[in-house]
C-alpha cells in the first residue's frame, strides 16, 4: 500500500507513491517506510522522538499541527492518536468479521472469555483479547496490558483473521479508550458491565472516568450497533447514564440482569458448585444451571449471553452453552483445601466494588458457624483513594481481614497497607509479605471457614519498583495457597 492510498482511504489529500511498510508509536520500532505516531504521553512526549524516527526511515509522522516534522510528511491532527488509529486500521485490514468490545469497571475479562467460550461451543472459530492476553482456539499469549497499544491491537486482530478466526471479543479499558488504543474497527456489538471507583489516579474524577468508558458507545460503535448493558435493577445512576448515552447515539439498547428486559434475571439460587438461574428471554422463562458461583458471575454470564445473541448465535445454543461454561482463570478459582478442610479461593478483586462482589459470592458458602477470611492489598502507583474504601469493605463484609501487599511498584508497601488500614475495622490486621499473609489465613481457617485471596487472580508475579529498578518476583496466589494448604509455606 502506498502512502497516497492510505491517505485517500482516510479522506486525506496527497499522492505520495512511497510504500508504507508499517506503523509504530515507539521510535525504536521504526523501520524504513514506517508511519510514526508521535503522542504526548504520561511520562514523555513522543514528539521529542520525531527526528530520531525520521532518521530511522519514517516516511510520515502523525502529530499535532504544532509539532515540528522535517524530512517526512507531517500528517497534522489536533487529536493525533485518533488520526493515527484511523490510518493504521486501514493499513492492517482485513479483520475478523464479528468483533465485540466490552467496557466497565469490573467483569470485562470475564465477559470476553465467556463470550469466546459461547461462540466456540456454537461452532465458531473464536478468540478474545484482554487482561489474560490473546486467547485463540490454539492457546493464549500475554500482551501485558488489558487493551494493548493500537499497533499491537490491530496487528493482533489482523493476525487472528489470517488464522481463520472469525469472532473476537475484546476488552476496552478506560485507558485504552482514552488513548484511542482500539479504534477503526467495525463492531458487531458493544457491552457495558458496571461502573464504580477505580483508576482515579489517571482519570481524575468519576465523571471523566465514565466519559472515557462512554467513548465506546459514543464514538467507537457505529449507530445501530447493539449495546448490551448490565442492569442490576439497583437504580444505579451510572447504568441509567450508560443506557441514555447508548440510546442517544442510536445504538440498539439490550439490557440484561435483574433490571434487564432483553435477558431478565428472574431468580438466582446459589448451589454448592454453581447456581440455578431463571432467565426470561422473548417472553419465555428458561431455568438453567450455571456451573459458576456468585451473583457477579451470573451478571457476566448474562452480558456474554447478550453479546452472543446479538451476534447471531441461536438462543438454544446460547442457553445450552451457559450450562457448560468453564471457570475464568483467577476469578473465584478454588485453589486449595487446608488440612481442616477449609477451601481457599483466588479472585482478581482489586477495587472496592469487586471486593464486595467477591465476598458476597462466597458468603452463601460459609457455614453458619464459619468465618470468611479475606487476604488482600492494593496496587502501588494506582488510584490511592480506593485503598481505605477497600479496607472499609473488607471490615464490613468479611469476618476476618488480613491486609498485605499487591504489586507495590514504586511505593513503600507499608504506606499502602497503612492507607488501607485507615478505612479498616477491628477484624482487620496487617501482615507484611503476601506469602506470609496467605500462610496466616490458611493456618487460621477452621473446617467451617472459607479463605478469599483477592487482588492478583491469574497474575504470575509481584511487581517491585518502577522504571529502571523494576523487578518482578514470581508469585502465583493459587500456587502459594496450595503450598500453604499442604503445610509447605
Ligand atoms: C498511563 C498509561 O496508560 N500509559 C500507557 C501509554 O503510555 P503513554 O502514551 O503515556 O506513553 P509514554 O511512555 O509517556 O510515551 C509517550 C509516547 O512516546 C513514545 N516513546 C517513548 C519513549 C521512547 O524512547 N520513544 C518513544 O517513541 C511512546 O511509545 C508513546 O507513544 O501507552 C503505552 C503504549 O501503549 C503503554 O505502555 C502505557 O502503559 C503503562 C505501562 C501502564 O502501566 N498502563 C496501565 C495503567 C494501563 O494502561 N492499564 C489499562 C487498564 C487496566 C484495567 O482495566 O484495570 C490497560 O488497558 O491495561
Ligand atoms: N459483574 C461484576 N460485578 C462486580 N464485580 C465483578 C464483576 N465481574 C467481576 N467482578 C470482580 O472483578 C474482578 C475482576 O474481574 P474481571 O477480570 O472480569 O474484570 P476486568 O474488568 O477485566 O478487570 P481489569 O480492569 O483489571 O481488566 C473479579 O475477580 C471480581 O472480583
Ligand atoms: N489492570 C489493573 C490491574 C490491577 C491488579 C492489581 N493486582 C494491581 O496491581 O493493582 C491495573 O493495572 O490497575
Ligand atoms: Mg480485565
Atom of ligand 3 nearest to the CA of 378: 10
Interface predicted TM-score (ipTM)? 0.95
The Cα 159–Cα 163 span in angstroms is 6
Name the closest ligand to CA 299.
2
Q: Is 195 in the pocket of ligand 1 (CB under 6 A)?
A: no
Helices (H), 163-230: 174-178, 200-203, 206-215
Per residue of the chain (489 residues), give pLDDT as tens: 888 888 887 777 776 888 999 999 999 999 999 999 999 999 999 999 999 999 999 999 999 999 999 999 999 999 999 999 999 999 999 999 999 999 999 999 999 999 999 999 999 999 999 999 999 988 888 888 888 899 999 999 999 999 999 999 999 999 999 999 998 999 999 999 999 999 999 999 999 999 999 999 999 999 999 999 999 999 999 999 999 999 999 999 999 999 999 999 999 999 888 999 999 999 999 999 999 999 999 999 999 999 999 999 999 999 999 999 999 999 999 999 999 999 999 999 999 999 999 999 999 999 999 999 999 999 999 999 999 999 999 999 999 999 999 999 999 999 999 999 999 999 999 999 999 999 999 999 999 999 999 999 999 999 999 999 999 999 999 999 999 999 888
Give residue-wise pLDDT tens across range 282-296.
999 999 999 999 999
Instruction: Give the per-residue pLDDT at 7.
Output: 84
Instruction: Give the per-residue pLDDT at 436.
Output: 98
Instruction: Give the per-residue pLDDT at 180.
Output: 95
Q: Is 149 in the pocket of ligand 2 (CB under 6 A)?
A: no
Annotated binding site for meso-2,6-diaminopimelate: 382, 406-409, 455, 459
The Cα 53–Cα 115 span in angstroms is 40
Q: Is 102 in the pocket of ligand 2 (CB under 6 A)?
A: no
Instruction: Give the per-residue pLDDT at 407.
Output: 98
3-state SS, 114-155, equals HHHHHHHHCCCCEEEEECCEEEECCEEECCCCCCCCHHHHHH
Annotated binding site for ATP: 104-110
Q: Is 382 in the pocket of ligand 3 (CB under 6 A)?
A: yes
Confirm if 319 and 290 have CB atoms less than 8 A apart.
Answer: no
Instruction: Give the per-residue pLDDT at 30.
Output: 98
Q: Is 417 helix (H, G, I), strand (E, B) or coil?
A: helix
Q: Is 2 helix (H, G, I), strand (E, B) or coil?
A: strand
Nearest protein CA to atom 18 of ligand 2, as residue: 107
Span from the CA of 410 to the centroid of ligand 1 (angstroms): 16
Confirm if 332 and 348 have CB atoms less than 8 A apart.
Answer: no
Report the mean per-residue pLDDT for the chain: 96
Residue 191, H or E segment: strand 189-192
Confirm if 422 and 391 have CB atoms less than 8 A apart.
Answer: yes
The Cα 303–Cα 298 span in angstroms is 9
Q: Is 108 in the pocket of ligand 3 (CB under 6 A)?
A: no
pTM above 0.90, yes or no: yes
Neighbouring-strand partners of residue 279: 265, 286
Which residues are CB-neighbours of 1 under 8 A, at least 6 positions away?
Answer: 19, 20, 91
Instruction: Give the per-residue pLDDT at 450.
Output: 98
Q: Is 247 exposed, middle or buried (0-12, 13-18, 19+ CB in 10 A)?
A: middle
Instruction: Give the per-residue pLDDT at 8.
Output: 84
The secondary structure of 301-360 as a DSSP string is HHHHHHHHHHTT--HHHHHHHHTTPPPPTTSSEEEEE-TTS-EEEEE---SHHHHHHHHH
Instruction: Give the per-residue pLDDT at 444.
Output: 97
Backbone φ, ψ for residue 257 (5° rounding)? 115, -175
Q: Rounded to 5 degrees, what angle do the CA atoms 239, 193, 230 make?
A: 60
The domains located in the chain, with CATH, are: 3-84 (3.40.1390.10), 93-323 (3.40.1190.10), 333-486 (3.90.190.20)
Atom of ligand 1 nearest to the CA of 382: 46
Give residue-wise pLDDT tens across range 10-35.
777 776 888 999 999 999 999 999 99
Span from the CA of 35 to the centroid of ligand 3 (angstroms): 32
Amino acid at each position: 500500500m502506498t502512502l497516497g492510498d492510505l491517505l485517500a482511504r482516510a479522506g486525506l489529500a496527497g499522492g505520495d507513491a512511497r510504500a508504507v511498510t508499517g506503523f509504530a508509536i515507539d521510535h525504536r520500532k521504526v523501520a524504513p517506510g514506517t508511519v510514526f505516531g508521535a503522542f504526548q504521553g504520561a511520562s514523555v512526549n513522543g514528539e521529542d522522538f520525531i527526528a530520531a524516527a525520521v532518521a530511522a526511515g519514517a516516511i510520515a509522522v502523525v502529530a499535532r499541527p504544532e509539532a515540528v516534522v522535517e524530512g517526512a510528511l507531517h500528517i497534522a491532527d489536533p487529536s493525533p492518536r485518533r488520526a493515527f488509529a484511523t490510518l493504521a486500521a486501514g493499513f492492517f485490514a482485513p479483520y475478523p468479521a464479528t468483533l465485540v468490545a466490552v467496557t466497565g469497571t469490573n467483569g470485562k475479562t470475564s465477559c470476553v472469555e465467556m463470550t469466546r467460550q459461547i461462540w466456540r461451543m456454537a461452532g465458531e472459530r473464536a478468540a478474545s483479547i484482554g487482561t489474560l492476553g490473546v486467547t485463540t482456539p490454539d492457546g493464549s499469549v500475554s500482551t501485558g496490558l488489558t487493551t494493548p497499544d493500537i499497533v499491537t491491537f490491530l496487528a493482533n486482530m489482523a493476525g487472528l483473521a489470517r488464522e481463520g478466526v472469525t469472532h473476537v471479543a475484546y476488552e476496552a479499558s478506560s485507558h485504552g479508550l482514552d488513548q484511542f488504543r482500539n479504534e477503526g474497527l467495525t463492531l458487531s456489538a458493544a457491552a457495558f458491565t458496571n461502573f464504580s471507583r477505580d483508576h482515579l489516579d489517571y482519570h481524575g474524577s468519576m465523571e471523566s472516568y465514565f466519559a472515557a468508558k462512554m467513548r465506546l458507545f459514543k464514538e467507537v460503535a457505529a449507530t445501530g450497533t447493539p449495546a448490551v448493558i448490565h442492569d442490576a435493577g439497583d437504580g444505579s445512576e451510572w447504568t441509567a447514564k450508560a443506557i441514555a448515552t447508548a440510546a442517544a447515539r442510536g445504538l440498539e439498547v439490550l439490557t440484561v440482569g435483574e433490571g434487564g428486559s432483553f435477558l431478565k434475571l428472574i431468580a438466582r439460587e446459589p448451589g454448592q458448585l454453581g447456581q440455578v438461574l431463571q432467565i426470561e428471554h422473548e417472553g419465555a422463562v428458561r431455568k438453567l444451571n450455571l456451573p459458576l458461583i456468585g451473583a457477579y458471575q451470573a451478571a457476566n454470564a448474562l452480558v456474554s449471553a447478550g453479546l452472543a445473541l446479538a451476534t447471531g448465535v441461536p438462543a438454544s445454543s446460547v442457553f445450552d452453552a451457559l450450562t457448560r461454561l468453564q471457570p475464568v482463570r483467577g476469578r473465584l478459582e478454588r485453589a486449595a483445601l487446608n488440612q481442616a478442610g477449609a477451601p481457599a479461593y483466588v479472585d482478581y478483586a482489586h477495587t472496592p466494588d469487586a471486593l464486595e462482589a467477591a465476598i458476597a459470592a462466597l458468603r452463601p458458602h460459609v457455614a453458619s458457624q464459619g468465618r470468611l477470611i479475606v487476604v488482600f492489598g492494593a496496587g502501588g502507583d494506582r488510584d490511592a483513594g480506593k485503598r481505605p474504601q477497600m479496607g472499609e469493605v473488607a471490615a464490613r463484609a468479611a469476618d476476618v481481614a488480613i491486609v498485605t501487599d499487591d504489586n507495590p511498584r514504586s511505593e513503600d508497601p507499608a504506606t499502602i497497607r497503612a492507607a488501607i488500614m485507615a478505612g479498616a475495622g477491628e477484624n482487620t490486621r496487617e501482615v507484611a509479605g503476601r506469602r506470609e499473609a496467605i500462610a496466616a489465613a490458611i493456618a487460621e481457617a477452621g473446617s467451617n471457614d472459607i479463605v478469599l485471596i483477592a487482588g492478583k487472580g491469574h497474575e504470575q508475579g509481584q511487581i517491585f519498583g518502577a522504571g529502571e529498578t523494576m523487578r518482578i518476583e514470581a508469585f502465583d496466589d493459587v500456587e502459594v495457597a496450595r503450598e500453604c494448604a499442604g503445610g509447605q509455606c
